[in-house]
Amino acid sequence: MKGKGTLVIRSGRVLDPAQGLNDRLDVLIVEGRIVEIAFGLAPEGVEVLDASGTIVVPGLIDMHVHLREPGFEHKENIESGTRAAARGGFASIACMPNTNPVIDTSGVIDLIMMRAEAVGAVNVFPIGAISPGLEGKEIANIGSLVEAGAVAVSDDGEGSQDTYVLRRALDYANMFGVPYISHAEDTRLSADGVMHEGHYSTLLGLTGIPSAAEEIHVARNAILAELTDTPCHIAHISTAGSVRIVREAKARGVPITAEVTPHHLTLTDACLATYDTNLKMKPPLRTEEDRLELIRGLQDGTIDCIATDHAPHAYSEKQVEFPLAAFGIIGLETAVSLALNELVHKKVLTLPQLIEKMATAPARILGLAKKGSLEPGMDGDVTLLDPEAKITVNPDKFASKSRNTPFGGWELKGAPVATVVAGHVAYNARATAKTKT
C-alpha cells in the first residue's frame, strides 16, 4: 500500500447517502483523509483525478472475500486479490479465515496485515476464526485476534455444527464488540449435496442441498444472537425462508444483519442444466421464488448489504466432473457491473440505495468508523462509477489469478471507473491528469 496520498477528485457527481449528498462537487483528500467537499476545488500542485461523467461515492467495501493467502496461493493471494478488488471498484475488503493456517492466531493476522501493507492495492481487514482451525470444538483466542486487527469472527466455510460451542463463543465474543459472521449450513442436512435440492437436482441426478440446511441454522443463530446479544451477520443469504426468519428477528430488535451475493440475486438453479461447474457454489443457486424474495429483502432492508463471497479456484479444481468440482466462484471484478445492471437499471434499487448496501452498511456492520461516507474527516477511500458504461465481461483481463466465473461474455451496463484508497489511485480505467504550477 502506498501510504497516505493527497488528491483532488474533480468534476464528478458526488453521491453520499450517509450525508444525503447528491451534487456536482469536488472532493479534496489530504494525506489520506477527506478534508473538503465543495464546488470548484483546484488546489495548486495537487494531483487531479478527473471524475467527469462519473458518480463519486464512498469507497465500496466487500465484506466477504477469500484471499487464499496464506496456504492456497495458487488460487489467489493478497496481491492479486486486492488488485482484483481495486479493478472491481472496492477500496476495502474483509478476508475470511479459512486459509491455511486458519486465521486463528494473532500471528496469521500480523502476516496478512504485513503482506497487505507491502503489496495490497486496497485496505484489507482480516476476519478471525471463531474456533481454532475452524473445527468448532473450542473458542479461539478472540481477544488476541481482535487486538491484532480482526474486525469480526466467523465460521465461514464450515458453519458451526455444535450449538453449545457456538453459544459459548458468542457469549465470550460479546465483550469485544465485533460481529459474528455466520455461514449458516447444517452439514448433516447438506451432506454430499452439490446443488439446490429441488426440481433441477432431481432432473440432473445430482444430490441436493435442501433450503432447510440453511434456514435451520439461520433460525438457530438468530435465537442465539437474541440470547447472547452478540451481533450475528448472516453471510451469503440464499433462501426465501432465511429472509423471512431475519425479517421477523429484526422486527423484534434482535441484533441480526444479512448480506447477499450478486450471483444469488441474478441466477437460479435452472442454469445448471449444462453441468457448468462455474455455477457450483455454497450456498447453491436457488429457485426463482427464492431469488425474488432476496430482492424483496434487499428492498425492504431485511438484507443490509451486498458482498461477493469471492472464492477463487484454479482451473484444475473446477474443470472436472460436477460432483468433484470445488465450490465457489469469483466475484470482485463483476459485482459492481452486475449490481448496476441488475439492480439499479432494473429499478430494484436506486443508486443511493445501492451505495448504502455496498459502502455505508458494510462499514457500519464491521465497525469501520472512518469508512462508508465522504464526510470530511473520513478516510480518503473513494470509488468512481459510470452507471451508463457498456461492458462485456472478459475474464481474460481479470487481475484475479482465477477465472471461475459464469459471467464471461455477459453484456452489462455500468462499471467502476476508478478506485481511490487513502488518497492514492489504486485503479483508474482512464488516464489521470496532473496539474502542476
Partner 1 sequence: MARTTKPRAKPTAPATHWTRRHLLGLEDVSADEIRLILETARSFKEVSTRAIKKVPALRGKTVVNLFFEASTRTRTSFEVAAKRLSADVLSIAASGSSVVKGETLIDTVHTLEAYHIDLLVMRHAASGAPHFLVRHCTSRVINAGDGMHEHPTQALLDLFTISERGKAFDGLKVAIIGDIIHSRVARSDVFALTKLGTHVVLCGPPTLAPKRFEAFGATCTSRLEEALDGADVVYCLRMQFERQQANFLPSVGEYVRLFGVTAERMKLAKPDAIVMHPGPLNRGIELTSEVADSAQSVVLDQVTNGVAVRMAVLFLLAGVN
Site for partner 1, rule CB under 8 A: 198-199, 202-207, 274-275, 277, 316, 319-324
DSSP secondary structure string for all residues of 375-418: STTSB--EEEEEEEEEEE--GGG-SSS----S-TT-EEEEEEEE
Shortest Å distance, C-beta 219 to partner 1: 23
Q: Which is nearer to partner 1, 211 or 383 (CB)?
A: 211
Q: How many CB atoms lie within 10 A of CB 262?
A: 22
Q: Pick the catalytic residue: 304, 309, 379, 381?
A: 309
State the cell numbers at 152.
Answer: 469480526
Shortest Å distance, C-beta 383 to partner 1: 37
Q: How many CB atoms lie within 10 A of CB 432?
A: 12
Shortest Å distance, C-beta 328 to partner 1: 17
Shortest Å distance, C-beta 207 to partner 1: 8
Distance CA 398, CA 172 (A): 41
Q: Which is nearer to partner 1, 71 or 323 (CB)?
A: 323
Ramachandran angles phi, psi of 166, nearest 5°:
-60, -45
Q: Which is nearer to partner 1, 204 or 271 (CB)?
A: 204
Q: Where are the alpha helices (H) located in 229-370, listed in sequence order?
A: 240-251, 262-266, 288-299, 315-318, 335-339, 351-355, 361-365
Distance CA 284, CA 195 (A): 5
Q: Look at strands 47-50 and 433-434 and give their pairing.
A: antiparallel
Q: Which is nearer to partner 1, 274 or 432 (CB)?
A: 274
Q: Where are the alpha helices (H) located in 326-369, listed in sequence order?
A: 335-339, 351-355, 361-365
The sign of the dihedral angle between the CA atoms of 343, 349, 352, 358 is negative
Of 62, 61, 76, 59, nearest to 236 by C-alpha is 62
Q: Which is nearer to partner 1, 317 or 381 (CB)?
A: 317
Q: Which is nearer to partner 1, 208 or 423 (CB)?
A: 208
How many angstroms separate the Cα of 217 from the Cα of each of 160, 163, 226, 241, 324? 9, 9, 14, 11, 26
Distance CA 366, CA 390 (A): 33
Shortest Å distance, C-beta 199 to partner 1: 5
Shortest Å distance, C-beta 275 to partner 1: 3
Active-site residue flag, 309: yes
**Residues acting as catalytic residues:** 309
